[in-house]
Amino acid sequence: DVDHFKRINDMYGHDAGDEVLKEFAMRVRSTVRGADLACRYGGEEFVVVMPDTGADVAALIAERLRSIIESKPFVLKSAGVALEITASMGIATAGRGIDTPEQLLKQADQALYQAKRDGRNRVVAAAA
């Protein structure tokens, strides 16, 4: 989830928000592995499905992505500015008590909201 995305749209317009989403997607794509599925889930939320990946590896990849998002400003050509963008991420892994994709997404979403409550710009793993 792109932190404070509404503020970008409100200050610079939806064209600028679209630029941020496109660059964000490119950074996601550059970070995930070939076997992973990365997609926009809605608004400023993205989902990465990582088959046969344990929580420890998923956390490392998520942290690497979070760092890549934070480390380089997003240059908005339409507004002529460079923005510092951060992202909050929630991780969930299939396992005991997780029988459906919907349950897995719900766990990841709960971890995401915990990341936001804890101050944003962080990765939080759902309780196992």
Catalytic residues: 44
Q: How many CA atoms lie within 13 A of 126 on its CB side?
A: 22
What's the rounded Cα separation, in Å, for the pair 1 and 88? 5
Q: What does the H/E/C string look like for 95-120?
A: CCCCCCHHHHHHHHHHHHHHHHHCCC
* 105 contacts: CB under 8 Å, gap ≥ 6: 47, 92
H/E run at residue 37 = strand 37-42
- The backbone region for 117, taken as left when phi is positive above 0, alpha when psi lies in -120 to 50, beta otherwise, is alpha
